[in-house]
């Protein structure tokens, strides 16, 4: 399947889980489509990037290690993604990457995740935390920063400052996750 054919498949994707899962299964069955999917996400001014991000999120939910060889491309376009649907999906993928990196034994993602990747993810997550983003994006960014910030005082300190500063003006969903993260930060 070439990029044009993948875009045609993505045009059939909508918010329904069934259609996103169907397209994600295509990618999981042929991982050569993954770099094409990530390139489509980088078309940040086109709504197709949202659909590609939704599908990549489902792929990563099923098999996070698939993204490992493409972390350079994925991380380099993070700060350019701006459409709400794409940002939410990409922030969830960052959280999945952070959770896998924080998990016990060595794994393919942990080996592939370089300091530059972490730096790009951290920088973008802080941008999401301070900008006017939807609550889901902020919640995923918060968790990602907590996980990637382990062993780095400055990240946890800045995260704590932002959470406390914004707490009163945010939604119930933000507040619920903020309480959990602040509790973990105090340990």
Give me the average pLDDT of each 10-residue run along the chain (187 residues). Answer: 91 89 95 96 95 97 97 96 96 98 91 97 97 94 96 93 91 91 90
CATH classification at residue 127: 1.25.10
Q: Helical H runs in 103-167?
A: 108-112, 115-130, 135-148, 153-166
Closest to 91 in 3D by CA, of 54, 49, 36 = 54
Query: In the 8-state DSSP scheme, what is residue 107?
Result: -
Tell me the C-alpha distance between 4 and 90, whole Å: 22
Per-residue confidence (pLDDT) for residue 29, from 0 to 100: 96
Per-residue confidence (pLDDT) for residue 186, from 0 to 100: 87
Query: Within a 10 A sphere around the Cβ of 131, how many other Cβ atoms?
Result: 12
Q: How many structural domains comprise the chain?
A: 1
Tell me the C-alpha distance between 5 and 159, whole Å: 42
- 3-state DSSP assignment of residue 19: helix
CB 24 within 8 A of CB 12: no
CB 175 within 8 A of CB 167: yes
pTM of the model: 0.95
Range of the domain at 136: 3-186
């Amino acid at each position: 399947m070439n990029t044009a054919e993948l875009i045609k498949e993505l045009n059939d994707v909508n918010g329904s889980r069934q259609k996103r899962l169907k397209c994600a299964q295509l990618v999981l069955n042929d991982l050569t489509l993954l770099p094409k999917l990530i390139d489509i996400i980088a078309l940040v001014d086109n709504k197709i990037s949202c659909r590609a991000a939704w599908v990549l999120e489902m792929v990563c939910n099923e098999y996070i290690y698939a993204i490992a060889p493409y972390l350079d491309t994925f991380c380099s376009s993070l700060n350019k993604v701006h459409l709400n649907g794409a940002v939410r999906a990409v922030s969830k993928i960052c959280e999945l990457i952070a959770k896998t990196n924080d998990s016990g034994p060595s794994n393919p993602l942990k080996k592939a995740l370089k300091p530059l990747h972490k730096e790009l993810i951290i920088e973008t997550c802080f941008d999401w935390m301070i900008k006017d983003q939807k609550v889901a994006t902020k919640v995923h960014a918060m968790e990602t920063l907590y996980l990637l910030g382990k062993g780095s005082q400055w990240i946890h300190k800045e995260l704590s400052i932002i959470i406390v500063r914004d707490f009163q003006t945010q939604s119930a969903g933000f507040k619920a996750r903020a309480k959990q993260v602040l509790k973990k930060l105090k340990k």
